[in-house]
Amino acid sequence: MADDAMNDEMKEIVQDFLVESQEVLDGLDQRFVALEKNPDDADLLNEIFRAAHSMKGSAGFLGFTRLVDVAHHAESILNKMRQHEMAVERSVVDTILEAVDVIKLLMKDIKETGTDAHVDVSAMSAKLAAVLQRPASPGTPAQTPASASAPEPPPKLGAILIEEGALSSEQLSEALAKQDASPLLGEILVRDKVVAEEVLDKALKKQGPKPGAEGDQTIRVETRRLDQVMNLVGELVLGRNRMMKLCTGLEQSHEADPLVRELAETIGQLDLVTSDLQTAVMKTRMLPMRKVLGKFPRMVRDLANKVGKKVGLELVGEDTELDKSVIEEIGDPLVHLIRNAIDHGVETPEERRASGKLEQGTIRLEAAQEGDRIVIRISDDGRGIPVEKVKAKAISRGLVTPQEISTWGRREIINLIFQPGFSTAEKVTDVSGRGVGMDVVRTNISRINGTVEVDTDEGHGSTVTIKLPLTIAIIQALMVAVERRVFAIPLTSVVEAVKLSPGDLKTINGREVLTLRDHVLPLLRLSTMFEIPMQKDPAELGYVVVVAVCERRFGIMVDRLHAQEEVVIKSLGDLLGEITGVAGATITGEGKVVLILDMAELVQAMHPVGVLLNAR
């Protein structure tokens, strides 16, 4: 049992190392890009050096020799930069960034196998060693007192005691195995008479004050536990909805009963507490946008160098917070948009000079919270989207006829770039030209009930605006009915609801459409989509719910409109999870299971006429 406890403790130590090191790595790319722009920033250089030194020390303590080897060589180069023995040049930074990529592979190996022995680092170490052998850059000054006195990170207590010979690795492992939530490592060592109290005091003084020693303000919690809490809160919300529905019925039938009034007051209080708890739990799952944005400075740097362009990146709103589930989904769309902006949007330095612009183009990525939505804007000052070129490409591919597109507005033509396989690139490269980027953007954003809009000013640049929900676990939905089946439509997609009158429905190319304020909307019958037998009188036309998905509008025909409700999305599982047009299910206040419609899949399932009859 003691060996099992020690193994569990070591696994926990390794896990802590992985988490801390990943936090370091997440910030290194951005810091190196900043250092390249400001090579004389001694504070930034010292910060990078300390991060590498700390990671190397922790890896050495845990026996990850290959990681130590790469980190040590990189640290030595950084130290020469600190000592002004080597200039901060692009070629040197390129090599260190390659080393960071290798360290990421080593971290992945440690996470999956518990060791770093499966990644060959010999080539990387040799490359770093070659950089170290370069002669000092001409004209570099001698070490300054500021760089010489840069503070080092405090070493761990166990490492200090081992270094001084007061403790062996075996004794440290035994002490860690006995550690639970209460005692500190030093208390265990003194209690078991492994080290003397005087030796411990000396080691603690050598370690120095621990950051945040006045009182830790944060703790790490596994996301699995947060997911469990969020799931329980979702169940609580469903229970609250059910109780409120039942209470409303009791109030209507026993209005004069004082016990019913007291029950109503109690459930009202429960409603407030549940809402506050729901908000609090959602906030614990929030992550700052920098978790996503931090990787883009290096990506822009590397890609701009690859295509021979000069591109700067401005990040605004990095502290804007999003739910973890949304953060995980937004990464790929942003990558595609940034790559498109560099490859298609920003011109070459020669083209920019010829048009009177600065040689360096600028991409601005801005995130902000607006109401209950997060708005992300990606803009560039490049050439913009060539509307006529998009139109010609759409006609040549047979997506639309010249007669049809002649009635379209500029925005409708631009929206064609979201069609699968659509690209205006003259040739396919490893950067773009395959026509998959914008389609992926639309699909991923629609999956999380978000919307995307594109605006362009030809010759001056483009802006892509993404609007996202704060969370995708609990949403507002419009409840509708077809026959006796009830469905939930996410309210973020709903534009309006229209009562049908005789003569409103038309047929074009065999498809039902509705003319609404001089716009033609393609219609989708849920009864046809889900094969629901119809028993109502055909003269009862019902309603059309107008929905918008990525600037494309269509109508959903339903029999009745129910109330707006806050619903908790539940997965349908593996057996039912592949049903087209269904995002999940929820339980209503009446205790019924209701399917939540997936607007993105529904618009994809419609005939291409839905593209041509875009109501904008």
- pLDDT of residue 214 exceeding 50: no
Boundary of a domain, candidates 148, 168, 183: 148
Residues 568/586, Cβ–Cβ less than 8 Å: yes
Whether residue 39 is found in the same domain as residue 93:
yes
- 429: number of Cβ within 10 Å: 12
CA distance 59 to 21: 9
The residue assigned the tokens 């020799």 is: 65
Q: Which active-site residues does the annotation give?
A: 53, 75, 340
Among the residue ranges 75-79, 80-84, 114-118, 517-521, the one predicted with the least confidence is 517-521
Domain match, 292 and 336 both? yes
Q: Do 377 and 478 share a domain, yes or no? A: no
Distance separating the N- and C-terminal Cα atoms of the chain: 69
Q: Are residues 125 and 227 in the same domain?
A: no
Greater confidence (111 vs 5) lies with 111
Give the count of alpha carbons within 13 A of 172, CB side only. Answer: 17
In this structure, are residues 498 and 544 in contact, taking their beta carbons and an 8 Å threshold?
yes
- Work out the average pLDDT over 247-252: 90
Cβ atoms of 491 and 569 within 8 Å: the answer is no
215 within domain boundaries:
no
The amino acid that residue 312 corresponds to is G
Closest CA to 307 of 388, 361, 380: 361
Mean of pLDDT values over 34-62: 85
Residues 144 and 162 both lie in one domain? no
Alpha carbons 544 and 547: distance in angstroms, whole number? 9
CATH for 92 = 1.20.120.160
DSSP state, residue 323: E
Residue 237 lies in a domain: yes
CA–CA separation, 383 vs 362, rounded Å?
12
CB 282 within 8 A of CB 226: no
3-state SS string over 363-401? EEEEEEEECCEEEEEEEECCCCCCHHHHHHHHHHCCCCC
pTM over 0.85: no
Cα(265)–Cα(47) distance, rounded to whole angstroms? 57
Q: Which of 21-30, 86-95, 419-428 has the lowest mean pLDDT?
A: 419-428
* Amino acid 551: pLDDT: 62
Determine contact, residues 49/75, Cβ cutoff 8 Å.
yes
Kindly state whether residues 124 and 29 are assigned to the same domain: yes
Instruction: Report yes or no: 357 and 406 within 8 Å, Cβ to Cβ.
Output: no
pLDDT for 486 equals 92
Tell me how far CA of residue 544 lies from CA of 482, 500, 516, in angstroms.
12, 7, 11
State the average pLDDT over residues 573-602: 79
Domain boundary among 265, 284, 303: 284
Please check whether residue 266 is in contact with residue 243, taking contact to mean a CB–CB distance below 8 angstroms.
Answer: no
In a domain, 392, yes or no: yes
Mean pLDDT of 498-522: 84
Supply the CATH number for residue 363's domain: 3.30.565.10
Residue type, position 68, single letter: V
- The more confidently predicted of residues 341 and 186 is 341
Phi and psi at residue 535, to the nearest 5°: -120, -5
Residue 561: closest CA among 474, 472, 494, 473: 494
Question: Residue 608: which pLDDT band, with cuts at 50, 70 and 90?
Answer: very low
CA 553/CA 616 separation, integer angstroms: 8
Which band of pLDDT confidence, cut at 50, 70 and 90, is reported for residue 88?
confident
The answer to whether residue 213 sits within a structural domain is no
| Number of residues assigned to the chain | 616
User: Which pairs from 179-182 meet CB under 8 Å and 24+ separation?
Assistant: 179/9
Let me know whether 386 and 506 are in one domain. no
pLDDT tens digits for range 359-392: 999 999 999 988 778 899 999 999 998 888 888 8
Same domain, 136 and 177: no
Q: Is the pLDDT of residue 105 over 60?
A: yes
Number of structural domains (the chain) is 5
- The answer as to whether 233 is a domain residue is yes
Q: Are both 75 and 129 inside the same structural domain?
A: yes
> Residue 9 domain-assigned?
yes
Report the distance separating Cα 6 and Cα 3, nearest Å.
Answer: 5
If asked whether residues 327 and 410 sit together in one domain, one would say yes
Residue 212 domain flag: no
Query: Does the residue 169 lie in any domain?
Result: yes
Confidence band of 479 (pLDDT split at 50, 70, 90): very high
Give whichever of 42-46, 213-217, 544-548, 569-573 has the largest mean pLDDT.
Answer: 544-548
Which has the higher per-residue pLDDT, 147 or 216? 216
pLDDT tier for residue 215 given thresholds of 50, 70 and 90: very low
The answer to whether residues 346 and 447 belong to one domain is yes
| C-alpha–C-alpha distance, residues 523 and 59, integer Å | 61
User: How far is the C-alpha of 494 from the C-alpha of 558, rounded, in Å?
Assistant: 14
Q: Which domain range does residue 268 map to? A: 223-284
- Quick: pLDDT tens for 447-467: 787 888 888 888 899 999 998
pLDDT in the model for residue 10: 73
Pairing of the two strands 519-525 and 552-558:
parallel
Q: Which of 148, 170, 188 is the last residue of a domain?
A: 148
- Is it the case that residue 208 has pLDDT exceeding 80? no
Going by pLDDT thresholds of 50, 70 and 90, the confidence category of residue 136 is: low
User: What would the mean pLDDT of 180-190 be, rounded to a whole number?
Assistant: 68
Which DSSP letter does residue 416 get? G
Q: Tokens 């998009």 label which residue?
A: 390
* CATH code for the domain of 503: 2.40.50.180
Same domain flag for 309 and 185:
no
Question: Which has the higher per-residue pLDDT, 480 or 2?
Answer: 480
